[in-house]
């Protein structure tokens, strides 16, 4: 009576490990950018919850950059022009951060990540 073996061969196992390794490498490249984005969101929520009575856009930008420093957001990631305030006629103002991040992957292949987040601000803005 012959028994038939079943399972993964060495070549099959190596192919599976190559695929898993490739996706792990992609994850290792992308995860820090998304972690940084979560720091940006946290800093924006702190600014929004503190209120903005009488603060100008420049003061809000400075305060946001200060808070993002504590969240390990790289200074080169977000430029002051990426931070805007949308003033609505209804009185609700939105703090908007919109930026792109380019991550080199391999050879001439890069990832381009686009992040866009808006939070409502409390209080009146200064000029």
Summarised one tens digit per residue, pLDDT across range 68-89 is 888 888 888 889 889 888 877 6
Contact criterion met (CB below 8 Å) for 82 and 97: yes
Residue 66 lies in a domain: yes
Domain count within the chain: 1
Residue 46 lies in a domain: yes
pLDDT for 51: 76
pLDDT for 106: 87
pLDDT for 99: 93
Residue 90 lies in a domain: yes
Residue 17 lies in a domain: no
Residue 99 lies in a domain: yes
Residue 19 lies in a domain: no
pLDDT for 126: 64
pLDDT for 111: 94
Contact criterion met (CB below 8 Å) for 119 and 95: yes
- Residue reference for tokens 């903005």: 52
pLDDT for 25: 94
Give the structural domain span for 55: 34-121
pLDDT for 11: 93
Low-confidence ranges of the chain (pLDDT < 70): 1, 89-91, 125-127
DSSP 80: G
pLDDT for 32: 93
Residue 2 lies in a domain: no
Alpha-carbon span 96 to 118, nearest angstrom: 4
Model confidence, pTM: 0.80
Residue 72 lies in a domain: yes
Q: Where are the alpha helices (DSSP H) in 2-126?
A: 10-50, 57-70
């Amino acid at each position: 009576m012959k028994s038939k073996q079943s399972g993964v061969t060495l070549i099959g196992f190596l192919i599976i490990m190559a695929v898993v390794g490739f996706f792990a490498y992609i994850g290792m490249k992308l995860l820090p950018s998304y972690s940084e984005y979560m720091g940006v969101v946290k800093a924006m929520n702190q600014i929004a919850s503190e209120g903005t009575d009488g603060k100008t856009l420049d003061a809000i930008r400075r305060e946001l950059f200060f808070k993002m420093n504590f969240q390990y957001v790289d200074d080169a990631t977000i430029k002051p022009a990426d931070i805007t305030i949308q003033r609505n006629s209804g009185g609700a103002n939105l703090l908007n951060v919109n930026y792109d991040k380019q991550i080199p992957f391999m050879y001439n292949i890069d990832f381009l990540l686009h992040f866009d987040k808006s939070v409502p601000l409390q209080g009146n803005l200064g000029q």
